[in-house]
Structure 1
């Protein structure tokens, strides 16, 4: 799926530099970051050195533990007024099995207070998301396929075109229980 760019700096190196800069700015050791994120010290070190491609789940754990937006870790600002082909021009982040693909379309901007993701779920994919303490609302718009969304103990079937929003500080799970890919947009409002 082409996880490496040939640009001067790959997204993996960018994530590592950002993680190290935040850790140093807060005067945290790798042990301290490991404790607050639940990600091993070894993995954090590999991410910082650009030696490991972190999964979406790992990035969310780091962002949650450090109380950062996911966009801050991905740090992919685009120049203004530039048309972008999402699937060709933006480097995605994959889950452990390459079954969930996340594109950081509009990285977090403190002035707008949101970040925007384009997400593809392959058939049979289940992605459990921990509560986001630093996000107030999550807005989901299904644009292709049928997404099953579990919010705590409630389950919603969203057949495109469909939308839902919810408080992001609860456990939620995205599922594709169909034989076709699901595409949805996810906006995190802080």
Structure 2
């Protein structure tokens, strides 16, 4: 089984599990996540590999980390994630990419990401649930952080924090690659 097939199977199993754990019908999860009922059915039957945006919407609606939806097994007390097990979530033909390094679900979803943005590339994100915080630290280049339409220049060595309940995005307007590490903390689902 390929890595993609294993990821698709894990997502199908975990989405079903967390939807059941939260007592949500397909229609309730679809409404809460803004994802069609048909798409959720296809994901739960491992017939499709959803976009990063769809996966984020489902995780947010369930109040779990993306790692909880993608993990193949239950984590032990200490979970080590070797580089080859980190999950590449987004990439472009020019070499930009994001990697979910590790995540946890207690007391609320918490994720650690590695980002690499090539000059001219960008990634936009829909608003997350109220109370979701993003922390980032730029290690190379100059990131243009967009929060609710307002650009913020974040040069190497600088960190930023913001509540991510509004549209936001990350853009590289410079001539060199941007590297950053980002943590996302989501408020637990009620």
The alignment's TM-score, normalised by the length of structure 2, stands at: 0.78
Question: Match of 1:84?
Answer: 82
1:90-138 CA-partner distances (Å, limit 9, x unpaired)? 2311269897533222212415963211122343333222222264421
Question: Which of 60, 63, 68 is equivalent to 2:59?
Answer: 63
Number of residue pairs aligned between Structure 1 and Structure 2:
183
- How far apart, in 1, do the equivalents of 2:107 and 2:19 lie? 24
Q: Secondary structure at the match of 2:13?
A: helix
| Displacement after TM superposition at 1:63 (Å) | 1.8
| Displacement after TM superposition at 1:139 (Å) | 0.5
Question: Which of 3, 6, 9 is equivalent to 1:5?
Answer: 3
Note if contact 1:147-1:176 (Cα within 8 Å) is conserved in structure 2.
yes
Question: Match of 1:52?
Answer: 48
Question: Which of 151, 156, 163 is equivalent to 1:160?
Answer: 156
Does residue 1:34 correspond to 2:36, yes or no?
no
Write out aligned runs for 1:1-190 (5 A).
4-5=2-3, 10-75=6-71, 77=75, 80=78, 82=80, 84-85=82-83, 88-94=84-90, 101-110=97-106, 114-133=110-129, 135-190=131-186
1:153-189 CA-partner distances (Å, limit 9, x unpaired)? 4311122222111122232111122354322111123
Which runs of 5 or more residues in structure 1 are unaligned? Answer: none
Note if contact 2:65-2:109 (Cα within 8 Å) is conserved in structure 1.
no
- How far apart, in 1, do the equivalents of 2:129 and 2:150 lie? 20
Q: Secondary structure at the match of 1:142?
A: strand
Note if contact 2:134-2:161 (Cα within 8 Å) is conserved in structure 1.
yes
Residues 105/155 of structure 1: CA separation in 2 closer, same or farther (3 Å cut): same
| Stretches (4+) displaced over 4 A | 76-79, 95-100
Note if contact 1:138-1:189 (Cα within 8 Å) is conserved in structure 2.
yes
Q: Secondary structure at the match of 2:153?
A: strand
| Displacement after TM superposition at 1:5 (Å) | 1.4
| Displacement after TM superposition at 1:45 (Å) | 1.8
